[in-house]
Amino acid sequence: MARFSPGDPVQVQDIRPPGHIRTPLYVRGKTGTIERICGLFANPEELAFGRDGLPLRPLYRVQFEQAELWPDYDGPAGDAVEVEIFEHWLEPAGRNAP
């Protein structure tokens, strides 16, 4: 059901649609790693406009290295941030890329 598994490298789509978007701008186009599958949820981009948000979509917790997100990051290597992102925002990256 879920396209990705924990440990898979993924890239967030670098698109900027209007509407109610829960994928923060600072992770768009960035590469991270699937940390876990959170479950299946209705799509908030549709729920926000009064529709049912179906079919349910996989939501992932994706881990990003801080240095990947902020070019001037000067904290310890290995510092990370985790963001919950819906599957339709993610593409395979690294060795999984087509």
Partner 1 sequence: MSDPGRAHHDMGGLPAGPVESSEHDYALWEKRVDALLVLLSDKKRGLIRVDELRRGIEQLGAKAYDEMSYYERWIASITSNLLEKGVITSDELGHKMAEIEARAREAS
Applying CB under 8 A, the residues found at the interface with partner 1 are 16, 18-21, 24-26, 44, 47-50, 53, 69-70
Report the sign of the C-alpha dihedral through residues 16, 18, 21, 26, in that order: positive
Tell me whether residue 20 or residue 88 sits nearer to partner 1 (CB atom): 20
Tell me whether residue 53 or residue 92 sits nearer to partner 1 (CB atom): 53
Tell me whether residue 44 or residue 92 sits nearer to partner 1 (CB atom): 44
Tell me whether residue 19 or residue 55 sits nearer to partner 1 (CB atom): 19
Report DSSP letters for the chain, one per residue: --S--TT-EEEE-----SS---S-GGGTT-EEEEEEEEEEE--HHHHTTTS--PSPEEEEEEEEEHHHH-TT--S-TT-EEEEEEEGGGEEE-GGG--
Residue 72: CB minimum distance to partner 1, A? 11
Residue 35: CB minimum distance to partner 1, A? 18
Residue 19: CB minimum distance to partner 1, A? 8
